[in-house]
Structure 1
Amino acid sequence: MNQPERKAPEITQMLRKWSDGDTRAMDNLLPLVYEELHRQAARYLRRERRDHTLQTTALIHEAYLKLIDQRDVEWESRTHFYAIAAQAMRRILVDYARTKQRGKRGGDDIKLSLSEATAVAAKEKSVDLIALDEALDKLAERDAQQARVVELRYFSGL
């Protein structure tokens, strides 16, 4: 019997104690499951892009934090625990990817209405026309009609 198989009954016992409200069982569980969680996280991250910035240890810890918040789960076995851990890791990676994608699409940028942007622009004494032109070009790539509206509003006052 290899090491994980020897730990299986102990892990299941800890999970059941944890389900019954024994908080010490949860503390004792991490050393028993850490190695397998590490393998799962490494497997997930091997499938990710090379420039992925989330590290294996961070993924394990985030997943474990999500798992310990699962107070209503009736843990059936270690297999059940690892399946839920895999789902947690997948959700973390998806959330991470969405956050990165949102940042690439300007999701973290400050949002201004057209009238707010015009008011801010009107208060500016000197305008960097090159930067404005580049910004309008980028906007035109995303939405030509919006770029035209900004251009007409800013330059023509329409």
Structure 2
Amino acid sequence: MTVRYQLVIDCANADLLARFWAAALGYEFAPAPEGFASWDDYWREVGVPEEELGAGEDRIVDPSGGGPRIWFQVVPERKTIKNRLHLDIHAGGGREVPLATRRERVDAEVRRLTELGATAVRVLQQEGLDHYAVAMRDPEGNEFDVN
């Protein structure tokens, strides 16, 4: 049996990360539940205190329905250590694509993501291996790779 799940990313600024990752992944903002003008209206209805509302956009969904819903949950503590889980963005096209072409595609995606607010950290490449990737950080420092 397949299990449905939602990916939750702790953060300081949900709206910032939701906007970054929606653009990075080609996702859209999740619509509020039916009958509610906004997620804040929904959460008020279920009893969430007003001081916990107002995060802005904090949920994104894959418009094709194939990827998981992602919720950016505001937490008080800052990120302090390396992620134990990270996303890989596949921009190169896979092993059937020549390495030089994959490198060009990955580098182009890295430039696009940098313009959106990400930071390139290092190139992940080793002589003799048919692999090319770039380690990056999102606007709050969460690690991810583009390959």
When normalised by structure 1's length, the TM-score is: 0.21
Bigger share in strand: 2
User: Could you say which structure has the greater relative contact order, defined with CA pairs below 8 angstroms and 6 or more residues apart?
Assistant: 2
Q: Which has the higher helix share?
A: 1
The structure with the largest alpha-carbon Rg is: 1
